Amino acid sequence: MERKLAAIMAADIVGYSRLMAENEVSTYADLRTVFDDLIDPTVVRHGGRTFKTTGDGFLAIFPSVNEAVDSALAIQQGFDKGPFKLRIGVNLGDVIEDNGDVYGDGVNVAARLETMTEPGQIFVSSAVVMAADRNRADIFARVGHRRAKNIPELLNVYR
């Protein structure tokens, strides 16, 4: 078990259950292609590691906020060309890494940010904005304070 500060990306494919109900074989084949050709290589290229998949989503950990944001942007751009729409949340926080999985409030906040987005959007926490390189300041726009399920404090959200 190791406690550390890490950037966490949470992502979810919009409408996946509906697409599976319409054409399970084709939807799964498209999903496998997206993971194999876009998501997995992009996460790895940016120094990250996917630690959980949920069928229609995934969680990834990065040692750097900048790499997590770059990975999120690259993945979202790749989704612009494909059959799916994606929602992404990125947070910087303390996590516990144990036996390949990652736990803690840092993960929970990233997951809650993802649920707040519209299809095709990326939301990040104020911790991400504050830790990002200064030359990236112009890529973030403040959304405002949002309340998230099971998170006691208001989240200061950016896109």
Which tens digit of pLDDT belongs to each residue from 89-141?
Answer: 999 999 999 999 999 999 999 999 999 999 999 999 999 999 998 877 778 98
pLDDT of 29 higher than 90 = yes
Q: Is the pTM of this model over 0.75?
A: yes
| Cα-to-chain-centroid distance, residue 47 | 14
Domain boundaries, the chain: 2-158
Strand segments, DSSP code E, in 16-159 are: 49-53, 57-62, 85-98, 101-103, 122-125, 142-146, 155-158
pLDDT in the model for residue 104: 95
Considering the chain, what percentage of its residues have pLDDT values greater than 70?
100
pLDDT of 66 higher than 90 = yes
pLDDT in the model for residue 80: 87
pLDDT in the model for residue 138: 79
pLDDT of 44 higher than 80 = yes
pLDDT level of residue 143 (50, 70, 90 thresholds):
confident
pLDDT in the model for residue 156: 74
* Rg (the chain; Cα; Å): 15
pLDDT in the model for residue 82: 77
User: Does the domain at residues 2-158 carry the CATH identifier 3.90.1300.10?
Assistant: no
- DSSP letter for 120, please: T
Section 141-155 average pLDDT? 82
The span from the CA of 71 to the CA of 78, in Å, is 11
